[in-house]
Each structure stands twice: as C-alpha cells, then as structure tokens.
C-alpha cells in the first residue's frame, strides 16, 4: 500500500448570466487560455474541459455556454448540452459580478440549482478588481441569502488573480477522493484543431456588433507543416449566415479580415510553436443556426 495521502479529483462547472466571467475564471484557474472570452454574450459554444492540477488533487472544469432562451436550433442544442453537464458535475460555482446588483436573472439561475441536488454549490462574487469595498460587501450578503446550502461564498478576481487559490482549494475539498483523471501537463481535452478554430472565432468577434456574433462559426480545412516544420499553413473558413454579413466580416478592401487574421495568428503561433501562414476564407451557409444538416457539418 502506498503511504501517500489521498488525493481528490472531480468535475466543476460555473453558471451565471452571460458575461459574468465564467470562461475568464476557467482560464485563470487553468493558467492558460483554453476557453475563448469576449464582451459578447454567448461567446462559448461548446463544453470545454480545463484541467487544474494542485498538490491536493485535480479539478476538471467544464466551461459551457450557460442556459439561455433558445431562439434557434443551435440554441436548443446548447441548452441540452449544459443540462447534461450540470447533471454530471461534482460542484457548481454560481457567479455574480461584484459590480452589479443581484437581479431576477441571477435569482432564477440560483433557484434552478435545486435541480442538481448531487452537486456541491459555491457562490462566487467576481470582478472584485473593479468594485469598491462596499459593493463587494453588499454583493456577498445578497448572494449569501440566495440559497441556504452554499458550501462556501468566495469573492475573487479572475483578471487580477485575487483569491483564485482560495477557490481552487475550496473546490478540491468538495471533490470525491480519487486519482487524477488527466495526465500532468494536459490543460484541456480540446484538440489542437478545435483550439485554433476557437481562437479565430474569438478574433472575429472583436469589434462586431450585436447580431453578428451569433452568426459566426469557424471550420478548419487543413493544417500542414512545411519548411522542415518551421512554418504551418492553416486553411480556415469563417462561416456566416448571410451575404450582408460576409461583407461586414471582410471589411473595406479586406481590412477587417486582415485584422482578424493578424489577431488570431498572434495567439496561434505561441500555441503551436511555429510561424503560421493563416488563410481565411469567408463562406455563407444560409441560416446555419436553424438548419440541422448545416449544424451537423459545423460540429453541433
């Protein structure tokens, strides 16, 4: 028998209104960007696993799009995915930004946690770096009174890296005992191709207005090395729903598309460790969010 102390491991997910910082917190805990983030609601479109290794064990954090009113077939499929994740995890972290009063949306989400009696529940007051002391105190009290069964209530900042260790340690105490689920050094179960596609989508989301974000999908046609592995060619498609959107994405004389490419390349190069030649092609798939066949092709 080994005399090493028992480790703990398990699954955690964060819930909360769009934009409260679920993906940012996931990345901050993992210590590397595994989930893309933006100031546009519904940036996250998949269940992405980020792995956190600590001496006491391992947390597998599942970042999801969050539940929202489905307006399209894509929206319905994403809600189903989130339901499934919530039913499986060992702990759920409920996020509220310190900067905004707790509202009906927060109350509804907090109440919906009744549906997951098996999961431990932790309330998290986030964005403390941009909140006043009074705001933080007020939010902690508001959040505390939302449920009787919080295992902990923790204020933190994912951006300023405040109290992240406190959260990780607390979550670990709530996990079942068991060995690590992923090998040391693994930060996500996302494939390289999927991570690259998400980086490109994030770059494309920057600077676009209200409706467009929901209409953008990214697919990768080919990734290949050349020049003795010193250069990587990546052929990717930016898929939109309408011709008018295609024009917006491309921009005047291709200026927007060029900027998207440059932003994406700056993140892809350190990820794969070579120079990258990124060829972006904008494609229209009419109303893809409502079309089961197109959704299938885009991986939903």
- Min dist CB 37 to Mg ion, Å, is 6
- Min dist CB 28 to Mg ion, Å, is 13
Cα dihedral 71/76/77/78 (nearest 10): 70
* Three-state secondary structure string covering 231-288: EEEEEEEEEECCHHHHHHHHCHHHHHHHHHHHHHHHHHHHHHCCEEEEEEEEEECCCH
Neighbours of 4 (CB within 10 A): 6
Nearest CA to 145 out of 107, 190, 181, 89 is that of: 107
129 contributes a contact to ligand GDP by CB under 6 A: yes
Alpha helices in 127-254 (DSSP H): 133-144, 164-174, 192-205, 212-215, 243-250
Closer by beta carbon to Mg ion, 9 or else 24: 24
19 contributes a contact to ligand GDP by CB under 6 A: yes
In the region spanning residues 214 to 273, those forming contacts with ligand GDP, defined by CB under 6 A, are none
Residue 13 binds which entry of Mg ion, ligand GDP, none, with Cβ cut-offs from 5 to 8 Å by kind?
none
58 contributes a contact to ligand GDP by CB under 6 A: no
22 contributes a contact to ligand GDP by CB under 6 A: yes
Q: Which one among 10, 21, 75, 261 touches ligand GDP, defined by CB under 6 A?
A: 21
- Min dist CB 167 to ligand GDP, Å, is 12
- Say if CB 172 and CB 151 are below 8 A apart: no
Closer by beta carbon to Mg ion, 8 or else 40: 40
Binding-site ranges for ligand GDP (CB under 6 A): 16, 18-24, 37-39, 43-44, 126-127, 129-130, 157-159
């Amino acid at each position: 028998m080994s005399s090493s102390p028992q480790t703990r491991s398990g699954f955690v997910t964060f819930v909360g209104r769009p934009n409260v910082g679920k993906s940012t917190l996931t990345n901050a805990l993992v210590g590397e960007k595994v989930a893309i983030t933006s100031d546009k609601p519904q940036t996250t479109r998949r269940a992405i696993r980020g792995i956190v290794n600590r001496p006491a064990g391992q947390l597998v954090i599942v970042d999801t799009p969050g539940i929202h009113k489905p307006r399209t077939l894509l929206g319905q499929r994403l809600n189903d995915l989130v339901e499934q994740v919530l039913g499986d995890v060992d702990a759920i972290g409920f996020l509220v930004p310190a900067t905004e009063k707790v509202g009906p949306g927060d109350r509804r989400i907090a109440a919906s946690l009744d549906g997951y009696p098996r999961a431990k529940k932790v309330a998290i007051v986030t964005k403390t770096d941009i909140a006043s002391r009074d705001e933080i105190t007020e939010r902690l009290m508001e959040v505390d009174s939302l449920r009787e069964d919080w295992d902990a209530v923790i204020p933190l900042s994912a951006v300023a890296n405040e109290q992240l260790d406190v959260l990780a340690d607390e979550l670990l105490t709530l996990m079942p005992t068991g060995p690590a689920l992923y090998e040391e050094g693994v930060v996500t179960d996302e494939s390289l191709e999927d991570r690259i596609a998400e980086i490109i989508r994030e770059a494309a989301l920057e600077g676009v207005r209200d409706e467009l974000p929901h209409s953008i999908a990214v697919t990768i046609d080919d990734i290949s090395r050349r020049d003795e592995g010193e250069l990587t060619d990546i052929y990717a498609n930016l898929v939109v729903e309408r011709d008018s959107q295609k024009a917006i994405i491309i921009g005047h004389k291709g200026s927007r598309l060029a900027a998207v490419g440059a932003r994406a390349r700056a993140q892809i190069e350190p990820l794969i460790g070579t120079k990258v030649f990124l060829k972006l092609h904008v494609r229209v798939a009419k109303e893809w969010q409502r079309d089961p066949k197109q959704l299938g092709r885009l991986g939903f």
